[in-house]
Amino acid sequence: MTQRIQSVQPESVNERIELSLRLRRANFDLDVSLNIPAHGTTVLFGPSGAGKTSILRAIAGLEPEVRGDVCVKGRIWQSADIFVPPHARRVGFVFQHSALLPHLSVEQNLRYGFTRVQGTELEFRECVEQLDLQALMHRKIAQLSGGERQRVAMGRALLTRPEVLLMDEPLAALDTGRRTEVLGYLERLKQVTSIPMIYVTHSVDEMSRLADHLVLMKDGRVRQAGSALEVMNSPDVPLALRDDAGVVVMARVNRVDDHGLFMLSSDLGELYAQGAGHQVGDHLRVRIHARDVSVSLSEHRDSSVLNILPATVKSIRQIVSGQVLVELGAGANQDQALFVRISHASAMRLQIKEGLRVWAQIKAVALLA
């Protein structure tokens, strides 16, 4: 039976992580104020140099030049006259590279910080089970793949009983296969742990699958912050204008056939999607890319496309290279956002305009759940 990995104190949805940070350097200027939930996963998303890692380091007490305030669940870690040293802050930090102790075995690495917090053997076994580390316990670090090393690093961080878990692009150094593997563990981990996570990435896929709360950053400033689904699915944020623009829809697996085709229930209605490793009853996040959606003025049923949804045009905006981004409203009340990226010529030919009733078409193989 799956059990929850508990933090030191029970998590309350009213507790917050409050940050007001300023850092001045010759070629970089960080100035952010954030008030984020002390539960779930907050993703800091933006390009390199946006200041994401500096925020993590400031929370951990590793940026001596940063000025401002750090308050975690009502406890002040930094202010004008208070500075709690890094070793006294209850944080687990997972870096881009695992930073494990190479002369120790996997089990010895896991127990390195665990012995200091006097955890129970039950906690230890549960963490090992959650991250599927049983078969690796006696191996040396050099014998592990990159994905296995990151799973051990996550386990080591969790076993220190942190009040907050900081993850600095933990999948960036992995190849596509390993990244997908570890991302699956992260998805399961966020469902069973009450420890709040602050996760840094510039990957849209990681952001889409992990974020409960989303902070968009650029040039050391917060550009937008809020509920992840609201921010990701808004046509008014920079994400909507990227090449990989799209929306994220919550869905539940209702049926799986012998060929890996899912029937999902979602706010868009019933969806077919292709994937692997999911079972009936699983709750998923499905990202629907604007480039994978087409529109028609009539319902075509003599087509290989399985997902054909009634929708209404909400807005149209010019983007780049003769293309337009069309925002649709779909679902039972036509209030679930769906983006379509089409050529300006197609929009003119179909006379796309606000209020027009259309049919959105999405290939099942484009929805890799």
Count Cα neighbours of 59 within 13 Å in the Cβ-side half-sphere. 31
Residue 77's domain comprises 16-226
Through-space distance between the first and last CA atoms of the chain, rounded to whole angstroms = 24
Q: Which residues partner with 316 through β-bridges?
A: 326
The answer to whether residues 81 and 205 belong to one domain is: yes
The answer to whether residues 175 and 37 belong to one domain is: yes
SS3 of residue 304 by DSSP:
coil
Domain boundary among 162, 191, 226: 226
The answer to whether residues 220 and 82 belong to one domain is: yes
pTM: 0.83
In tens digits, what is the pLDDT along the chain, a chain of 369 residues?
233 333 334 444 448 999 999 999 888 899 999 999 999 999 999 988 899 999 999 999 999 899 999 999 999 999 999 999 999 999 999 998 888 999 999 999 999 888 888 888 999 999 999 999 999 999 999 999 999 999 999 999 999 999 999 999 999 989 888 888 898 889 888 888 889 999 999 888 899 889 999 999 999 999 999 999 888 888 777 765 666 788 989 999 999 888 888 899 999 999 999 876 678 888 888 889 999 999 999 998 888 999 999 999 999 988 877 888 999 999 988 889 999 999 999 999 999 999 999 999 999 988 865
Domain boundary among 191, 226, 261: 226
The answer to whether residues 304 and 204 belong to one domain is: no
The answer to whether residues 192 and 333 belong to one domain is: no
Residue 235 domain-assigned (yes or no): no
User: What is the rounded distance in angstroms from the CA atom of residue 50 to the CA atom of residue 54?
Assistant: 9
| CA angle in degrees (0–180, nearest 5) for 88-37-131 | 70
- CATH number of the domain to which 192 belongs: 3.40.50.300
Residue 176 domain-assigned (yes or no): yes
Domain boundary among 195, 226, 257: 226
Residue 26 domain-assigned (yes or no): yes
- CATH number of the domain to which 320 belongs: 2.40.50.100
Question: How many domains would you assign to the chain?
Answer: 2
The answer to whether residues 110 and 155 belong to one domain is: yes
